[in-house]
Structure 1
């Protein structure tokens, strides 16, 4: 339920022409890493071309106001595929308007069509949002930042 009405609100697959707006949102997303434009410009076309990846954009009047990037991959434990949301970001002034919900529902539909048994993600910013959409806390998230090897 959007509290504000947007006449041209749309969820669609992201395109390379969305790069500038998605990069701006990705900069806001990064806490540990600071996205660099050259790395972003190398990665985006590869991700968009990956059949096991989906990048979708929430647009208002043709401008990207949010995006979600995720993957479907095979597992050994789940008897097939699972889906993972890697990044989800909504521009701050467009939060609580239904964009996040619409992006996640679109991703879930895509994951289901790819045979995924479930969708998972890690978050520290919006646990209440995900719980309201039926997600449950399942595990702790651990990570180790890898530094480039010295040559």
Structure 2
């Protein structure tokens, strides 16, 4: 792959099948299901606080990043959060993840975000090389419907 083959652009509804396949590739705790995915995608594409970008190689989606900005009280304004970032396994270590994050950072700056954060147990070396540093412990609690 040459850098000329790589294109970044905003995601579109027509990317749904390729993004869904990538989302299923990295999901460990959750198994993405098509109906909720199809319900969420149009809402994300219309949400001005959401940024969903794809990386294509020769016209095929090989990676995507979904992030958000939101207001905070403690950080004197907006912050940006990377919710999902996935590169197809055969296309990792070709600069796609770096380009997606750089594009997200540019968008976050344009929205006056004070910083970008994300939660992951993977790719610490990758994020460190891009200037990200460990900042906090991540907690979560699964919410199950009450019977």
Which string of whole-angstrom CA distances, capped at 9 and with x for unpartnered residues, describes residues 32-82 of structure 1? 000000000000000110000000000011110000000000000000000
1:6/1:60 contact within 8 Å kept: no
Q: CA deviation at 1:97?
A: 0.1
Q: Does 1:62 align with 2:73?
A: no
- Structure 1 unaligned blocks of 5 or more: none
1:85/1:120 contact within 8 Å kept: yes
> Which of 117, 132, 140 is 1:135 aligned to?
132
Q: CA deviation at 1:9?
A: 1.1
> Which of 114, 133, 146 is 2:143 aligned to?
146
- Structure 2 unaligned blocks of 5 or more: none
> Which of 78, 87, 92 is 2:89 aligned to?
92
Match of 2:30 in 1: 33
Moved over 6 A (4+): none
How far apart, CA to CA, are the structure 2 residues paired with 1:112 and 1:55?
16
